């Protein structure tokens, strides 16, 4: 199976803000934040259709999200998951004595995961707590 | 007949827009329409009216289901877990009023807790940098009226602070900036061509995590010193051009965000950005402002500052205030397993902390004070819904430029619902009783 490696960053999007204010337990929040924005060339390298599910894996964890084409691009080699529980499954937890985890600049690998589902924020967190 | 309530403060982001208008039903109970707010601000007002809103405190049962309890019972549970703990973490504070924060800090002092706010995952490194080197800053009013060179470094206000650009930094017309955006040159530094970059005069597509190098190069370029061919993926000609553009301005303002604080280098990236601002003051007037996120995260830093002398991660467990980011900060404490109770108010670490921390919260005695259902609520043992500050109760807040603004009440909260301040008072009374301290 094809895998690619990208540099992952997270942050706000307006859809993240609006859907979070409309209720983090709702489907809209998952649709806005349970995604990874990838460059068209990276999607091609991965050999998947746009809008299909992928598994993102780092040294710190793994998560299933939907791969979409970057809305603010191009930025080959850079992956973007809006801030939220999905991104926080894989970001670099090291704070290097500042209190601040390293939310931007985590190397991740991405592989196709068409048969896996993207979980809602609440299920994602509760299921992972059981593991 | 509906009534129009004007000059409302938006309690979402650090821009703290003060011109929102809300149409309410004549009995003052229902919000019908929100105008002037951005999409996020409007949604915040409208969600307060959601029919599925949780209106009573509840405790999680063994099987994971919730059981409704009274506010008194919830306050007793909260006081007990805080008093029983050796080192309770009291986290959040950024979406509530300064008055509620002050009450909460009295509880923290009595129980020997650690008080940390959302700066710890936001502008904590900026606060560390300010301690190290100070900060030449200004108000957003000065930016609106004077700034003719504006840099957005590692921030994307088009998405995170949607009205910042129209009210203050790009499009607004001020006393010396009568032509609005034509009065200004806008520079965006970001590894992505963001929506903010698309309305800028210059976008510098920096290599992610190379902020320190590029700022350092700009400091060299201000003096026309030698540079390598490229720095952080940016050709040296562009760096010299930007340095000359800044020097030629009458008033430079640098806004910076999570792109700088979340990347490696952290507080050092901000140290040097502040040094660049200080350097620019040799040629023209320059100021630097962090783009603060939650509407009252700045206020939390202010209140902690005047009560304990430090703006975040204040450890009161030894009976006096200690501050050591990396040691007394929320994520470090949680991931090292150093806290034995968790209290959350006005924030959602369940969504915004690394999962490793969230998993620890799930195992601790814990309470979450939040108007809505969130992943933090899901991993907490007790959930206390409260009235929304800035919508259902007033209170003071600080804008991102440290200007205090009084937020206003627009509608009544659901019947029988307490505010943050009222619930914290109940907890405080109970803590005083347990500790045998006079009120
Ligand atoms: S910019 Fe911020 S404060 Fe202003 S309306 Fe939007 S969310 Fe509210």
Q: Pocket of ligand 1, candidates B22, B37, B403: which has the most ligand atoms within 8 Å of its Cβ, to mutate?
A: B37
Q: Is B290 exposed, middle or buried (0-12, 13-18, 19+ CB in 10 A)?
A: buried
Residue range B127-132: average pLDDT? 96
Please give the backbone phi and psi of residue B162, each rounded to the nearest 5 degrees, phi first. Answer: -55, -25
Helix (H, G, I), strand (E, B) or coil at A35: strand
Question: With an 8 Å Cβ cutoff, are B266 and A78 in contact?
Answer: no
Contacts (Cβ under 8 Å, ≥6 apart) of B112? B86, B87, B88, B316, B317, B318, B319
Please give the backbone phi and psi of residue B360, each rounded to the nearest 5 degrees, phi first. Answer: -70, -40
Q: Which two tokens stand for residue B7?
A: 């000059």
Q: Is the N-terminal amide bond of A74 cis, ω within 30° of 0? A: yes
**Predicted TM-score (pTM) of this structure:** 0.96
Q: Which residues of B284-351 form beta strands (DSSP E)? A: 285-290, 314-315, 322-323, 341-345
Contacts (Cβ under 8 Å, ≥6 apart) of A85? A33, A121, A124, A125, B350, B351, B355, B358, B375
Q: Name every chain A residue with its beta carbon within 8 A of the beta carbon of B329.
A: 95, 98-100
Residue B28 pLDDT grade (very low, low, confident, very high; cuts 50, 70, 90): confident
> Which run of H or E residues covers position A5?
strand A4-11
Residue range A67-81: average pLDDT? 97
Q: Is B224 exposed, middle or buried (0-12, 13-18, 19+ CB in 10 A)?
A: exposed
Question: With an 8 Å Cβ cutoff, are B208 and A9 in contact?
Answer: yes
Q: In terms of DSSP H, where are the helices of B48-123?
A: 71-84, 98-111
Closest CA to B260 of B252, B271, B250, B251: B271
Please give the backbone phi and psi of residue B412, each rounded to the nearest 5 degrees, phi first. Answer: -70, 145
Q: For tokens 């010299």, what's the residue?
A: B240
Residue range B277-303: average pLDDT? 98
> What pLDDT was estimated at residue B52?
92
Q: For tokens 């470094």, what's the residue?
A: B153
Residue B21 has pLDDT above 90, yes or no: yes
Residue B262 has pLDDT above 80, yes or no: yes
> What pLDDT was estimated at residue B29?
87
Question: With an 8 Å Cβ cutoff, are A73 and B267 in contact?
Answer: no
Distance CA B187, CA B300 (A): 30
Distance CA A67, CA B164 (A): 30
CB of B143 within 8 A of CB of B184? no
Residue B196 pLDDT grade (very low, low, confident, very high; cuts 50, 70, 90): very high
Cα(B228) to centroid(ligand 1), Å:
41
CB of B362 within 8 A of CB of B60? no
pLDDT digits (tens, 9 = 90+) for B68-88: 999 999 999 999 999 999 999
Atom of ligand 1 nearest to the CA of B39: 6
Residue A1 has pLDDT above 80, yes or no: no
Look up the ipTM and state it.
Answer: 0.97
Residue range B29-38: average pLDDT? 95
| Cβ B162 under 6 angstroms from ligand 1 | yes
Q: Pocket of ligand 1, candidates B12, B42, B168, B169: which has the most ligand atoms within 8 Å of its Cβ, to mutate?
A: B12
Cα(B18) to centroid(ligand 1), Å:
9
Atom of ligand 1 nearest to the CA of B15: 3
Angle (nearest 5°) at CA B404 between B398 and B408: 85
> What pLDDT was estimated at residue B234?
98
pLDDT digits (tens, 9 = 90+) for A3-24: 999 999 999 999 999 999 999 9
Cα(B101) to centroid(ligand 1), Å:
22
CB pairs under 8 A between A and B: 178
> What pLDDT was estimated at residue B439?
73
């Amino acid at each position: 199976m094809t895998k690619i490696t990208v540099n992952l960053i997270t942050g706000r999007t307006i859809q993240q803000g609006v859907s979070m204010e409309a209720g983090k337990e709702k489907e809209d929040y998952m649709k806005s934040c349970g995604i990874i924005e990838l460059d068209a060339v990276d999607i091609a390298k991965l050999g998947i259709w746009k809008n299909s599910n992928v598994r993102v894996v780092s040294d710190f964890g793994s998560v299933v999200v939907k791969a979409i084409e970057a809305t603010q691009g191009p930025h080959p080699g850079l992956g973007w998951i809006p801030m939220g529980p999905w991104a926080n499954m894989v970001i670099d937890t090291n704070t290097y004595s500042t209190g601040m985890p390293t939310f931007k600049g985590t190397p991740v690998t991405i592989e196709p995961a068409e048969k896996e589902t993207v979980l809602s924020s609440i299920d994602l967190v509760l299921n992972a707590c059981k593991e | 007949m509906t009534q129009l309530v004007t000059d409302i403060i938006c309690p979402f982001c650090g821009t703290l827009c003060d011109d929102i208008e809300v149409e309410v039903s004549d009995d003052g109970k229902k919000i019908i329409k929100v105008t002037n707010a951005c999409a996020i601000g409007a949604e915040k007002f409208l969600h307060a009216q959601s029919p599925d809103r949780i209106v009573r405190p509840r405790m999680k049962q063994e099987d994971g289901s919730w059981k409704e309890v009274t506010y008194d019972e919830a306050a007793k549970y909260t006081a007990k877990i805080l008093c029983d703990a050796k080192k309770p973490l009291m986290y959040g504070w950024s979406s509530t009023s300064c008055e509620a924060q002050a009450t909460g800090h009295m509880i923290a002092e009595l129980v020997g807790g650690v008080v940390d706010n959302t700066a710890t995952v936001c502008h904590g490194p900026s606060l560390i940098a300010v301690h190290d080197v100070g900060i030449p800053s200004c108000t957003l009013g000065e930016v609106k009226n004077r700034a003719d060179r504006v840099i957005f470094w590692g921030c994307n206000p088009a998405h995170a602070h949607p009205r910042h650009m129209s009210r203050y930094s790009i499009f607004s017309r001020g006393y010396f900036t009568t032509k609005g955006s034509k009065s200004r040159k806008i520079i965006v530094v970001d590894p992505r061509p963001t929506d903010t970059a698309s309305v800028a005069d210059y976008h510098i597509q920096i290599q992610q995590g190379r902020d320190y190098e590029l700022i350092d190069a700009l400091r060299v370029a201000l003096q026309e010193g030698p540079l390598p061919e490229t720095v952080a993926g940016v050709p040296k000609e562009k760096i010299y051009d930007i340095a000359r553009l800044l020097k030629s301005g009458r008033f430079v303002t640098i806004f910076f965000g999570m792109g700088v604080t979340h990347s490696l280098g952290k507080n050092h990236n901000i140290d040097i950005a502040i040094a660049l601002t200080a350097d620019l003051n040799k040629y023209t007037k320059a100021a630097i402002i962090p783009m603060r996120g939650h509407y009252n995260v700045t206020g939390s830093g202010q209140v902690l500052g005047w009560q304990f002398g430090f703006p975040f991660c204040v450890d009161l467990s030894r009976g006096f205030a200690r501050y050591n980011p990396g040691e007394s900060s929320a994520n470090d404490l949680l991931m090292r397993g150093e806290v034995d109770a968790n209290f959350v108010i006005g924030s959602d670490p369940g969504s915004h902390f690394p999962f490793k921390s969230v998993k620890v919260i799930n195992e601790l005695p814990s309470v979450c004070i939040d108007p809505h259902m969130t992943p933090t609520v899901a991993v907490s043992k007790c959930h206390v819904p409260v009235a929304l500050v800035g919508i259902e109760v007033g209170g003071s807040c600080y804008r991102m430029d440290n200007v205090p603004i009084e937020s206003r009440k627009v509608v009544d909260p659901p019947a029988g619902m307490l505010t943050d301040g009222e619930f914290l008072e109940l907890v405080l009374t109970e803590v005083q009783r347990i500790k045998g301290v006079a009120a």
